Amino acid sequence: MKKIRVSFFSACCLFICSCNVLTTAQSKTFLSLEELVTKAPPSIFDYTTEGISEQEKSTLMTKGESENWKIKNRNKQRIVVEAKNPSSKLSLFSVLTKKKDPTLMNSVLIVFTENERAQNIETLEYKNNAFRNIAAIPKIETADFFKNSNAKEIAKKYPNAYSYKLQAENKGFEVSLSAWQNEELANLKADYKIKLEWNGSAFEKQFISIH
């Protein structure tokens, strides 16, 4: 009789452990950066000149190099990919959505593309085994960099006269005024630079005084 009770108890323990393992596996909705980039569609290269196919992307992630691309930096925080014939560069990192229940957090892959002077930021949330684009980058106006009303009026004539720089700690971006080929704008001194910090659901715009 005693043997039967022990066996039944052991069986119950095994069942509970199995359920816990299954629940943990089912509840993991966030992935490492390496996993995200590996699973991401080749369309993350769409803002580059060269582009990439699914097969070439697989080769790139497996070997660190492909026909047109090479991984220049690869760690848990950031992956940087550059074209072999320099013109395009991708910097990739990830953040997590903020939830009260940690098991409901999702990974968001941030793809920062630099193609000569052109820049693009793509934000892809991984949820239910699929990626979806989310609106996580706030709108920025050139006038945002000034406090003076006259300067703001001049700045309105030059939309998108700014550039992004990835912050070293991977928490977001620094945005600065870029007066390239805009002499009138170049004569103005910006009062602010802007930082974009992840707040758990989107990048939040923060104004940093320069003077």
pLDDT, position 138: 96
The residue written with tokens 């080769």 in the block is 59
pLDDT tens string 135-188: 999 999 999 999 999 999 999 999 999 999 998 876 799 999 998 878 999 999
Residues whose CB falls within 8 Å of the CB of residue 190, separated by 6 or more in sequence, listed in order: 145, 146, 176, 177, 210
pLDDT, position 157: 94
What order do you get walking across the sheet with 107-115 strand by strand? 69-74, 79-83, 88-96, 107-115, 118-127, 130-133
pTM of the prediction?
Answer: 0.83
